[in-house]
Structure 1
Amino acid sequence: MDPSALHHLTTTPWATLQHAYGPATDIPTQLLSLQSPDRQARSDAYDQLYSNIYHQSDRYEATAYAVPYILSILSNPAAPDRPRLFCLLLDLALGIPAEALPLGVKARSTSARGVSTWRDVPDGQVDYGLVAYDAVRAGVPLFWRCLEHTEDDGRVRAWAACALAYFPSEVNSNINADTNRLLHLMDQETDIMALASIMITLGLLLSSQNDTLSLQDNPSRTSTISRLHTHSTNPHPLLRWAAAVALIRLGHHSSENVDVITRALTDPSFIPAEFHVVFPFCEGDFGKYSAKILKGLDLSVYPGVVPAVLEALPRLPRPDALNLAEVTMELAFGAMPGDEDEDGDEEEEKDDDDDDRHPEQMSEIQRQTVMALAEWDDDEVWAMGILGGILEEWNIPGGSRDECRRYIGLSTLSVRTTFTKSTTVRNTELDWVMKCQGLSSDQRMHPQN
């Protein structure tokens, strides 16, 4: 252990610092336990730290003080659970890293003002999220070393590349040299997950730069785009997907790249299961990241995306299909009315709910979307009210299947079996309901090692 890190741990006045539950006197023990030879002790320490200094994605006065010690553990190549350390650091820095995607973090020279926070901070109060971001940003040189240490586990290099993507201000002053540095690492990387992570990082970092840098004429940018195009035809689906993600972010993509993103959204088996959950970006949820990307495109240029998603719905397990139904509605209709202006007041959002959307005002793709959902032949989905709830978020009647069919101009079924909502809902379906209500367990608290 670095003596300066141990000195920091023992001299910090933890009793005067606050975390989610009061004085932070228990933090030193938890930090020390991250290096325990006992796996369960380490797991317990992670859970306790998340609860104390990252409670419900909030950061606290004590959060930033824990960061230097976590970085010191990470600097030891023999330290256990290093991917999990990276995950913890990025959560502390960003709150919910996935919320910064697909655009990434805005480059700032002296502060993290481009980072979104969990909630507004009143004037005169300290934004502990930004303080934590700056504390983690001090680890960027270490992240580079981890990425360049080829003896490391490929998962460590994948996480190191991901971490660099969220600190563009550290690259902004030397964009050509750092881009070439990443390109060199990309060319020599043999681990699939690390290579995919480097590609996405290149797309995020280059796209974060200021337009005044004339990046369209930047040779390192041109070289990056050329290399990414090469990987866009790679036989491995994860590499094709990562290249497509980066090219779309850089605005140099083709319809084939959009097709790859659409495939990752509609076919959970497209990217091998071994990469799910453990991939650093977006918690390894390739469908979620793909949906974020597609929502940012002008889908009138890619008219096949929504029909492809609708075609996939019947083939998916019910929870996955319900999740994709919500994505499809957002692709066809835009952001959910209540999400369009997060700063708008509550009363205005309620007023929007009273304005039903009329079928004659819909585009053809919108009508096709509602018709496809109205024809969803699953009594339990309608009886549980989940699908109807999704439709009603966009002010489309969804009280029952027949109501939705009448609304969109389809015939109703004259003979139907009345389905009583079961008192027992399968765990997977209950998880989906909880997710919609913001109650699902936070995977960031238990990242895979």
Structure 2
Amino acid sequence: MDDVDWSGLFHAVGPACDTPRHLAALLGDDAKAFVDGYSHLWSTLRREGKAWPATAPTALLVVELLDNPLLGPDDPSLPDAMLAYLYAVGVAADLGDRAVEIRARVEDRAPELRAWTDDYLSADADGRARMWQDGTGLGELVLDQAALACFDLVPAFLRRTLPHLASERARCRTCAAAAVGSLARHPSASAQRPALLEQLTSMARAADSSYDLATILIAIGHLGGDTRSWLTDPHAGVRGCAALAPDLAGDDTADRVLLGLAQSPSAFGESFGDMAPPLQFQFKPYQDLLTSALLWRRWTATGIATRR
């Protein structure tokens, strides 16, 4: 933690000088400080799907927390929360081919971005709010720079996440699958994806809860895997998560599943009973995902028809 100049970084609620203290509290025995620290962890990540300058160094520490025995020795679910954080980092860092263009813009305007950040850090809360509306676009480019920093670290995050796919705890395996589903979209993981998809598909077939199965199916879909086998599953939530796979666009059965769920969105959430919907929906509500998937598929179908 001491290797990071936190004074030059900011997160969702301001300068990141408080981040080291909050992260250290995750390994302490002060219950209130732990709760504050856990809440703060998420403030370092994103607003509207964006990474912040404090996100990348925080995520580097989170992968260390994954295997730290001092992290909630009496609560084995805390590593699951760290994996959920890495899933969200993977989503924020999912730049794909855009990374080349973003890197060029960031490098071209690096002095301006540093100056904007320095001004932002020295401003009060009202001043910081005004800077997002200053018309220069530099603030958004600073966030692009933060996403790029995460993008560059994704291979390391993926490497540290993969062992948790073999955890003794089913829920930990499921959270690891979700994280892998976002992190392995990185271009550097293209050669790994076939083996990862085979492993995730095996996990899905062995899953003994609808929640775990649905979560793993979303991860398979994120990596371009085939989820057709689950489109007729008796569980509505499982069918919906299988149908969301982007590669099933144009599949009549998948489209019917999504249309049915869109007509009664509450049925999807209610299908999991007392459980919350799968981990991925903590970051984007399932109603939004259903709507965007349907709109994308209709647009794609129209485009295909036009080309024909």
TM over 0.5, shorter chain: yes
Q: Matches of 1:129 and 1:107 in 2, distance apart? A: 11
Q: 1:3-402 counterparts in 2 under 5 A?
A: 9-15=1-7, 17-20=8-11, 24-51=16-43, 54=46, 59-76=51-68, 79-80=71-72, 81-95=78-92, 105=94, 107=96, 113=99, 123-125=108-110, 127-149=145-167, 151-154=168-171, 156-167=172-183, 168=185, 169-206=187-224, 225=226, 228-246=227-245, 249-251=246-248, 254-267=251-264, 268-270=266-268, 271-276=271-276, 279-281=279-281, 283=283, 285-298=285-298
Aligned length: 257
Residue equivalent to 1:352? none
Q: Distance in 1 between matches of 2:255 and 2:297?
A: 9
Distance 1:283 1:114, change over 3 A: farther
Q: Deviations over 1:152-190 (max 9, x none)?
A: 242x33332222222322430233323222222222232
Alpha-carbon distance between aligned partners in 2 of 1:88 and 1:27, rounded to the nearest angstrom: 15
**Aligned AA (2:217):** M
Cα 1:177/1:63, change in 2 over 3 Å:
closer
Residues 146 and 152 of structure 1 are in contact (CA less than 8 Å); yes or no, is this contact kept in structure 2?
no
Give the TM-score, by structure 1 length. 0.49
The two structures, once aligned, show a CA RMSD in angstroms of: 3.6
Q: TM-score if structure 2 supplies the norm length?
A: 0.68
Counterpart CA distance in 1 for 2:83 and 2:243 is 25
Note the alpha carbon deviations across 1:263-315, whole angstroms, 9 max, x for none: 3223203433434455324636222211111011127979xxxxxxxxxxxxx
> Does the Cα contact within 8 Å between 2:51 and 2:147 map onto a contact in 1?
yes
Distance 1:292 1:26 in 2: 37
**Structure 2 CA distance for partners of 1:251 and 1:264, relative to 1, 3 Å:** closer
Superposed displacement of residue 144, structure 1: 1.8
Q: Can you list the C-alpha shifts for 1:334-386, whole angstroms capped at 9, x where unaligned? A: xxxxxxxxxxxxxxxxxxxxxxxxxxxxxxxxxxxxxxxxxxxxxxxxxxxxx
Residues 115/176 of structure 1: CA separation in 2 closer, same or farther (3 Å cut): farther
Structure 2 unaligned residues grouped into runs of 5+:
73-77, 111-141, 303-308
In 1, distance between residues paired with 2:173 and 2:101? 24
Q: Is the Cα–Cα contact under 8 Å of residues 261 and 294 in structure 1 kept in the other structure?
A: yes
Q: Distance in 1 between matches of 2:301 and 2:48?
A: 39
2:250–2:297 CA contact under 8 A, matched in 1: no
Cα contact 1:278–1:284 (8 A) shared by 2: no
Answer yes or no: is the 8 Å Cα contact 1:282–1:288 preserved in 2.
no
Once the 2 structures are TM-superposed, how far is the Cα of residue 237 of structure 1 from its aligned partner? 1.5
From the superposition, tell whether residues 43 and 262 of structure 1 become closer, same or farther in structure 2 (CA, over 3 Å). farther
Please name the residue that 1:334 is paired with: none
Identical positions, percent: 21
Instruction: Give the Å deviation of 1:70.
Output: 0.9
One-letter identity of the residue aligned with 1:44: D
Q: Assess if the C-alpha contact under 8 Å between 2:6 and 2:17 holds in 1.
A: yes
Which residue pairs with 1:308 in the alignment?
Answer: none
Deviations 1:94-125 (A, max 9, x none): 44x8xxxxxxx4656xxx718999xx968423
> Aligned with 2:175: secondary structure?
helix
Amino acid paired to 1:19? F
Contact 1:77 1:152 in 2 (8 A): no
- Contact conserved, 1:282 with 1:289, CA < 8 A, in 2? no
In structure 2, give the amino acid aligned to 1:289.
L
Structure 1 unaligned regions, length at least 5? 1-8, 98-104, 207-223, 303-449
2:249–2:255: 8 Å Cα contact kept in structure 1?
no
Distance in 2 between residues matched to 1:18 and 1:28, nearest whole Å: 12
Secondary structure in 2 matching 1:146: helix
For the structure 1 residues 147 and 37, does the alpha-carbon distance in structure 2 shift closer, same or farther, using more than 3 Å as the test? farther
Which whole-Å CA distance do the structure 1 matches of 2:176 and 2:27 have between them?
A: 19
Q: Which protein, 1 or 2, shows the higher relative CO under an 8 Å CA cutoff with sep ≥ 6?
A: 2
Q: Cα deviations across residues 386-411 of structure 1 (Å, max 9, x unaligned)? A: xxxxxxxxxxxxxxxxxxxxxxxxxx
| Inter-partner Cα distance in structure 2 for 1:90 and 1:135 | 13
Which structure has greater helix proportion?
2
State how far apart, in whole Å, the 1-side matches of 2:242 and 2:69 are.
Answer: 29
Aligned AA for 1:124? R
Report if the CA contact (8 A) 2:83-2:175 is conserved. yes
SS in structure 1 at match of 2:258? helix
